[in-house]
Structure 1
Amino acid sequence: MHLTGRRAALSSLLPLCFAVLATTCARADDTPNPCDTLKRIVSPAPNFSSLSAFDGRAIALPYGDDAKCAASQTNYRCTWTPRSGSSADALQGVAADIASCLPDATHDQNSPARQHFYLGARGARTEITAAQAGSNTLKLEIYGSR
C-alpha cells in the first residue's frame, strides 16, 4: 500500500516518536531505591567518609527534590524540603521507610517532630534520627559509636 500526504508524514514520524519516548521515559528500575540507599549509608558506620553527598538523595526523593547531603568521618546528614503535604507526614513516611528497610533497627522514639532508631548493642550502635528542622525542612542524620 502506497501512503501519501499526511499518512505518509505520520507513518515516517511514528518510529521517531517511539524512539524519543523510549529514551526519555523513566523506567521502574531507574528509580532510586530508598532501602538500598539506607543500607549503603548504614553499612560503613561509624566512619562515613567513604560516602558522597549524592549517596543519600534516594532517601529524600519520594518526599522532596532538593536534598542536600554531606558525609563526615562521624556522621551522614541530609536535609530537604518536603514537596507537598506537611513535613510531619513526610517525616512519618521516612520513618516507615527506615522501619521497613532496616528490620533489625529498634524504633525507640516516635513523635510528630522526631523519629529515632538504632542498630546494634550499646557502645557499638548506629543511630538514625529523622526530624523536623525548622518550619518546612526535614533532616536525616546517621551516626555510629563503634
Structure 2
Amino acid sequence: MHPTGRRAALAALLPLCLGVLATTPARADDTPSPCDALKRIVAAAPNFSSLSASDGRALARPYGDDAKCAASQTNYRCTWTPHGGSSADALQGVAADIASCLPDATHDQNLPARQHFYLGARGARTEITAAQAGSNKLTLEIYGSR
C-alpha cells in the first residue's frame, strides 16, 4: 500500500528529521545549577568540611567567572567579581536566587550592600549572608549551628 496525504508527508519528513538530529552536536551541560549548589551546601550544615571549593562555583557563575570558594568545618564562603555592571545589582540577583531556591528561608535583612537569610529555629539555624566586599567584589557565606 502506498501512503497518501498526511502519512506521505510524515514518511518523507521522518528521514530528514532523523538526519538533522544525527548531525546536531550534543549540548549537555552537566554544570550544577545555582539552586542545586545552594541546596547542597545548605544541606551540609552545620559541618561544611565535606564540601570542596568547586561545590559553590555554580552559585556565582551567573554573576561572575572568578569565584574562589572554601569550606571549613563551620562555614562555606565564596568571593567573586561580578560581570559588568554594579555589584549592588549582582547582589540583588544573588538574593533573588536564594529566595527562589530556598522558599522556606526567612529574609530578615535587605540592605543595598548586605542580604541575610536564615533557615531553622534558634540554636539550629543555617544562615546565609550575601554582601558587597569592597567596591567590586561579592561574598556569600553560609554557616550553621546545631
TM-score, normalised with respect to structure 2: 0.81
**What residue in structure 1 maps to residue 40 of structure 2?**
40
Aligned-partner Cα distance in 1 for 2:142–2:30: 25
Larger Rg: 1 or 2?
Answer: 2
| Moved >6 Å (runs of 4+) | none
Matched ranges for 1:49-60 at <5 A: 49-60=49-60
Aligned-partner Cα distance in 2 for 1:71–1:39: 15
**What residue in structure 2 maps to residue 138 of structure 1?**
138
**What residue in structure 2 maps to residue 5 of structure 1?**
none
Residue segments in structure 2 that go unaligned for 5+ positions in a row: 1-21
Asked if 1:22 corresponds to 2:25, the answer is yes
Q: CA deviation at 1:32?
A: 2.8
Corresponding letter in the other structure for 2:60: A
**What residue in structure 2 maps to residue 9 of structure 1?**
none
**What residue in structure 2 maps to residue 129 of structure 1?**
129
**What residue in structure 2 maps to residue 8 of structure 1?**
none
CA deviation vs aligned residue, 1:61-100 (integer Å, no higher than 9, x gap) = 0000000000000000000000111000000000000000
Please tell me the root mean square deviation across aligned C-alpha atoms, in Å. Answer: 1.6
Matched ranges for 1:1-146 at <5 A: 22=25, 26-27=27-28, 29-146=29-146
Aligned-partner Cα distance in 2 for 1:89–1:62: 12
Q: CA deviation at 1:145?
A: 1.0
Corresponding letter in the other structure for 1:47: N
SS at 2:108's partner residue? strand
Aligned-partner Cα distance in 1 for 2:31–2:57: 11
SS at 1:39's partner residue? helix
SS at 1:76's partner residue? strand
Residue segments in structure 1 that go unaligned for 5+ positions in a row: 1-17
TM-score, normalised with respect to structure 1: 0.81
Aligned-partner Cα distance in 2 for 1:114–1:138: 10
Aligned-partner Cα distance in 1 for 2:51–2:103: 22
Q: CA deviation at 1:31?
A: 4.3
Corresponding letter in the other structure for 1:120: G
Q: CA deviation at 1:30?
A: 3.4
Corresponding letter in the other structure for 2:66: D
Aligned-partner Cα distance in 2 for 1:91–1:53: 21
**What residue in structure 2 maps to residue 11 of structure 1?**
none
CA deviation vs aligned residue, 1:33-53 (integer Å, no higher than 9, x gap) = 111110000001100000000
* Count of residues in Structure 1 that have an aligned counterpart in Structure 2: 126
Corresponding letter in the other structure for 1:34: P
Percent of residue pairs bearing the same amino acid type? 85
